[in-house]
Amino acid sequence: MSTITLIIIILIVLHLVAGFGWLIYKLSPRKEDENQNGNSEEE
């Protein structure tokens, strides 16, 4: 396997890891959201 191929494979894997990390970050509930939801349920 050539060096260029190895670099491309590493970039693809890092891109996938970053994408999944971003998705988990976006889909995870935040404390601010929980407080807003709690306040709207009480009103």
| Confidence at residue 17, expressed as pLDDT on a 0 to 100 scale | 98
Q: Tell me the two tokens of residue 7.
A: 């670099």
Locate all alpha helices (DSSP H) within 1-43, ordered by sequence. Answer: 3-27, 31-42
Give this prediction's pTM.
0.60
pLDDT tens for the chain, 43 residues long, are 899 999 999 999 999 999 999 999 999 988 776 666 656 555 4
| Confidence at residue 15, expressed as pLDDT on a 0 to 100 scale | 98
| Confidence at residue 40, expressed as pLDDT on a 0 to 100 scale | 54
